[in-house]
Amino acid sequence: MKNLFLLIVTILLSKSLFAQEFEFFEPKATIGGYGELHYNNEKIGSSPSKSIWDFHRFVLFFGYSWSEKWSFKSEVELEHNFVKNGQGELELEQAYVNYHHSDLLGFNVGIILPSIGLINEFHEPPLFFGTERPVYHNLIIPTTWFGSGASIYGNYNGFDYRLTLFETLNSDKFSLSQGIRPGRMKGYKTDASRFLYSVKLDYLNFPGLKVGGSLSFNNAKGDSTNIDVTISEVHAKYDANNIIAVFEFGNINYNSGELKASRGYYFDLGYNVASIFNLSTKIIPFIRYSDINTAAETLSGGDNEKLYHFTEWMIGLNIKPFEQVVFKIDYSEQTRKLDDRKSKFINFGVGYMF
């Protein structure tokens, strides 16, 4: 009996000792966040210029990990610093339970971000050029795009995949000037009778490069319309050897209504000149060219396809004293295709993430 007792104690001891070895995980709450203050000056055509200060986004991240596999992640966002009379927004941008089984397979459920375009999931200010997000991410792939949904994800041999089942768009809200952007339901009592289906694939095994694309389909519905929407986009980003280059192209097809297709692309090219002088602060001048047309194809054609078509040149500077803080300044000029109307923008700001 004594021996048996000794045996059990020995087993238990050895197990607990061994379990402690290499056991690095502890249940833990994490906070984080990001934010950005902007100065925006715009001169549209011949109208007088106007300028504003805008604390555009203040975001708090909160997460909790129950185990190595089960965790919760969330992001709450206050836009424009104030909510009153339809001005400003308070949003729950992410709130999901995540199960990370292995590199090959995980899933999440809750308020999530569909994996469409480079910036939607990775939208913190130090991660992109320009004070404001690229106009492509306003009008072609609306960013931040969040809502109720679930996704399965994983990585195999450098291929990163994500399959997403996401809330529907409201087709009544689609517009020639903004494409699908106004149709986002933002997790607010969305019609549960239909979904947006999305698949994304990226290749990441070439150092510094991310290249991939996504394809999404939604039979979108509103009170008075029902439109099939197909969103396809490709993207690439290179960040190594002091060079940052970005390219994205997106196309949206609509199967009924006046709007038939929205289309756009942009590319960025920047170089960290501080490396020449061996400074640790990154000083990155960049150029951007965008071509955007939210009404690239319409039922009636003609001027309707030119009114919302514009090109944009931007030059700017991102200064990063360290990776999580960025100071930005940029100048851009947009030319409307219909009448060559020029609009000019000067923006600067500061952004952070932690």
Partner 1 sequence: MKKMTLLFLLLSFTVFPQDIKDKVNQALKNCFGNNIQFEIEKVRIEKNIKNDIEKTVGQKFFSEEIYFYKIFENKSIIGFALLDNVYGKSLPITFMVMFDLNGKIICSDIIKYREPYGGAVQSKEWNSQFKGKDAQSEFIVGKDVSSISGATISVNSVTKGIKKLTLLIKWLMK
Residues that bind partner 1 (CB under 8 A): 3, 6-7, 10-11, 14-15, 18-19, 21-22, 24-25, 28, 30, 32, 63, 65, 68, 71, 73, 98, 100, 103, 106, 108, 118, 121-122, 124, 126-127, 153, 155, 158, 160, 202, 204-208, 210, 237, 239-242, 244, 272, 275, 280, 282, 322-323
How far is 31 from 75, CA to CA, in rounded Å? 10
Nearest distance from residue 98's CB to partner 1, in Å? 5
Which pairs with CB-CB distance under 8 Å and at least 24 residues apart come from 206-211? Answer: 207/240, 208/238, 208/239, 208/240, 208/241, 209/236, 209/237, 209/238, 209/240, 210/118, 210/235, 210/236, 210/237, 210/238, 211/235, 211/236, 211/237
Q: Judged by CB, which is closer to partner 1: 181, or 237? A: 237
259 versus 353: smaller Cβ distance to partner 1: 353
Least separation in angstroms between residue 207's CB and partner 1 is 4
Q: How far is the CB of 349 from partner 1 (least distance, A)?
A: 19
298 preceded by cis ω (within 30°)? no
Closer to partner 1 by Cβ: residue 185 or 244: 244
In angstroms, what is the minimal distance from the CB of 6 to partner 1?
A: 7
Q: Which two tokens stand for residue 161?
A: 């995949």
What is the distance between the alpha carbons of residues 94 and 106, in angstroms, rounded to a whole number? 17
Select 48 or 207, whichever has its Cβ closest to partner 1.
Answer: 207
Q: Which is nearer to partner 1, 21 or 340 (CB)?
A: 21
Tokens standing for 74? Answer: 């969330």
CB of 91 to partner 1, least distance (A): 20
The secondary element (H helix, E strand) that includes residue 4 is helix 2-20
Min CB(164)–partner 1 separation in Å: 13
Q: Which is nearer to partner 1, 76 or 204 (CB)?
A: 204
